[in-house]
């Protein structure tokens, strides 16, 4: 029977199926971080069991770490305790930990691919919704709750109902100045923040194929923002090239064997999806969000929808959102002043993103009204940014690089956007208070963020390329 890419991977990992219930799905790689794991470790201990397959488990602190003075003990007592709890749990259960100051530490979804831990055909879970990022390699990767983290720690399996399948094709070629972030913000603006619920989404089409691995990760990362369980892209030469030579990637003959296997991960011609959507790359332009969910996005050159474009049922939520953002229906987006620029997160905190920002700001200066935080996704990204001279370019333009972590993406640490201030952010969520109580987030690409940093207001980057 013809199968989709998703089916091939999922079916190969089903240990058993409960009648009228979920599947018992075997997990190849379990990524763990400090915030969603302590209760799970406590849970298995209470049951008197140990981590079942510590060798398939990797941990790192990222959500709750400071981004300055990481060599010092963490000041915030609760954060310090949480990070130390992770260390203790990993020691006790023999789980590999890339702790603070370890050269491999970083945002869990940045380090997995970077270290070659993420490979095609795998099932990957983490107590974090953006686990979908790893789908860019042709893996079935999804976020789970802490009870499920406990399941995987205890048995390397998770009970999951099989999601429905959707394919989203982006056909044709992207226009100059249009990036992967614009592609996914565009898709979400069309599908809405809940349109993907219940589905696992395969992204396909020429425009997707033409993206780098970093770009593909950005797209899959945000598949959760349309409610999808996860996103994935069939692996190809771009994928194999990226994995080759990485720390934990198979080497030599083993790599060749692996590639042979990886090449079998694609959707068969005749396979059927529960839903299929088509978009034209030519319709996509640089995007920005104006509201309080990622589906509320528009072309930068467009206006916020007017009230009569919003259907009745959604009016209340829309008005609440406009009120929070300090915007009015029908406003033009371009030209609105901005206070903060945040470049970072598991969506756009990789080396390619920093390169893009550096290339844009080279020889320019940031606007006086802008506070810019550039936070590398991992220690390795930080190191590379130094080696490639990116840090120097950024510093000359008036930016400062902070140390790796989730930072202002969720503002668990001190990196909070003050109440009422506007932040153009390369992260993935513009929810109320996401970047700090009262913070107003506008999601955009690193290129747009760079252009905003230079001009001090919302601008289509193509106008100043």
Q: Among the candidate windows 40-48, 100-108, 257-265, 348-356, which touches another protein by CB under 8 A?
A: 40-48
Residues at the interface with ligand SF4 (CB under 6 A): 62-63, 107, 109, 128, 130, 345-346, 406, 409-410, 427-428
In whole angstroms, what separates CA 116 from the centre of its chain?
17
Q: Does 128 bind another protein (CB under 8 A)?
A: yes
Burial 267-284 (b: 16+ CB within 10 A, else e): beeebebeeebebebeeb
Residues 6+ apart with CB under 8 A from 309: none
Q: Does 314 bind another protein (CB under 8 A)?
A: yes
Kindly tell me which of 345 and 448 has the beta carbon lying closer to ligand SF4.
345
Q: Does 75 bind another protein (CB under 8 A)?
A: no
As a 3-state breakdown, the chain gives helix, strand, coil percent values, each rounded to 5, of 40, 20, 45
Kindly tell me which of 292 and 445 has the beta carbon lying closer to another protein.
292
Answer yes or no: is 220 a known binding residue: no
Q: Rule CB under 8 A: which of 407-446 touch another protein?
A: 410-412, 419, 429, 431-434, 437-438
Q: Does 357 bind another protein (CB under 8 A)?
A: no
Residue 11, phi then psi, degrees to nearest 5: -60, -35
Residues 6+ apart with CB under 8 A from 96: 54, 57, 58, 59, 90
Answer yes or no: is 409 a known binding residue: yes
Where is 168: in which H helix or E strand? strand 164-171
Q: Does 26 bind another protein (CB under 8 A)?
A: yes
Q: Rule CB under 8 A: which of 373-402 touch another protein?
A: none
Burial 288-299 (b: 16+ CB within 10 A, else e): bbbbbbbbbbbb
Which of residues 161, 245, 326, 330 is near another protein by CB under 8 A?
Answer: 161
* 400, β-bridge pairs: 373
Task: Give CA torsion, residues 437, 443, 446, 452, to 10 deg.
Answer: -80
Annotated binding site for [4Fe-4S] cluster: 346, 406, 409
Binding residues vs another protein (CB under 8 A) = 12, 15-16, 18-22, 24, 26, 35-36, 38-39, 42-43, 46-47, 49, 52, 63-64, 76, 78-79, 81-82, 85, 127-129, 143-148, 150-151, 154-157, 159, 161, 163, 193-194, 197-198, 227, 229, 292-293, 313-314, 316-317, 320, 410-412, 419, 429, 431-434, 437-438
């Amino acid at each position: 029977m013809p199968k989709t890419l998703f089916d091939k991977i999922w079916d190969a990992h089903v240990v058993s199926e409960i009648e009228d219930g979920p599947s018992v799905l075997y997990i190849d790689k379990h990524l763990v971080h400090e915030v969603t794991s302590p209760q799970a470790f406590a849970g298995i201990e209470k049951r008197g069991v140990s981590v079942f397959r510590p060798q398939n488990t990797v941990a790192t602190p990222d959500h709750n770490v400071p981004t300055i003075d990481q060599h010092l003990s963490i000041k915030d007592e609760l954060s310090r305790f949480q990070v130390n709890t992770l260390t203790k749990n990993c020691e006790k259960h023999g789980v590999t930990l890339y702790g603070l100051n370890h050269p491999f530490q970083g945002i869990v979804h940045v380090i997995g691919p970077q270290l070659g831990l993420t490979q095609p055909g795998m099932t990957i879970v983490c107590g974090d919704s953006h686990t979908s990022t790893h789908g860019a390699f042709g893996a079935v990767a999804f976020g789970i709750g802490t009870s499920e983290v406990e399941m995987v720690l205890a048995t390397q399996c998770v009970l999951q109902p099989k999601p429905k399948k959707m394919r989203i094709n982006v056909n044709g070629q992207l226009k100059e100045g249009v990036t992967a972030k614009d592609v996914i913000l565009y898709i979400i603006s069309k599908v809405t923040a809940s349109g993907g619920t219940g589905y696992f989404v395969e992204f396909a089409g020429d425009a997707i194929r033409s993206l780098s691995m970093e770009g593909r990760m950005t797209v899959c990362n945000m598949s959760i923002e349309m409610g999808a369980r996860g996103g994935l892209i069939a692996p190809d030469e771009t994928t194999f090239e990226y994995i080759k030579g990485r720390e934990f990637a198979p080497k030599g003959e083993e790599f060749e064997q692996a590639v042979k296997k990886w090449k079998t991960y694609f959707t068969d011609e005749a396979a059927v999806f529960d839903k299929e959507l088509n978009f034209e790359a030519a319709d996509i332009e640089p995007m920005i969000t104006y509201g309080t969910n990622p589906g509320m996005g528009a072309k930068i050159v467009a206006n916020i929808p007017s009230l009569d474009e919003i259907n009745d049922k959604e009016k209340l939520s829309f008005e609440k959102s406009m009120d929070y953002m300090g915007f009015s229906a029908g406003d033009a987006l371009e030209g609105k002043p901005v206070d903060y620029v945040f470049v970072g997160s598991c969506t756009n905190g990789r080396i390619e993103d920093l390169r893009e920002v550096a290339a844009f700001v080279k020889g320019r200066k940031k606007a006086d009204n802008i506070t810019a935080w550039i936070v590398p996704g991992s220690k390795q990204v930080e190191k590379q940014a130094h080696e490639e001279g990116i840090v120097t370019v950024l510093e000359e333009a008036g930016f400062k690089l902070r140390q790796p972590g989730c930072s202002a993406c969720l503002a668990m640490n001190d990196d909070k956007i003050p109440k009422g201030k506007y932040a153009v952010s390369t992260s993935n969520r513009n929810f109320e208070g996401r970047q700090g109580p009262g913070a107003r987030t506008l999601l955009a690409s690193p290129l747009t963020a760079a252009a905003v940093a230079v001009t001090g207001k919302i601008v289509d980057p193509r106008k100043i390329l």
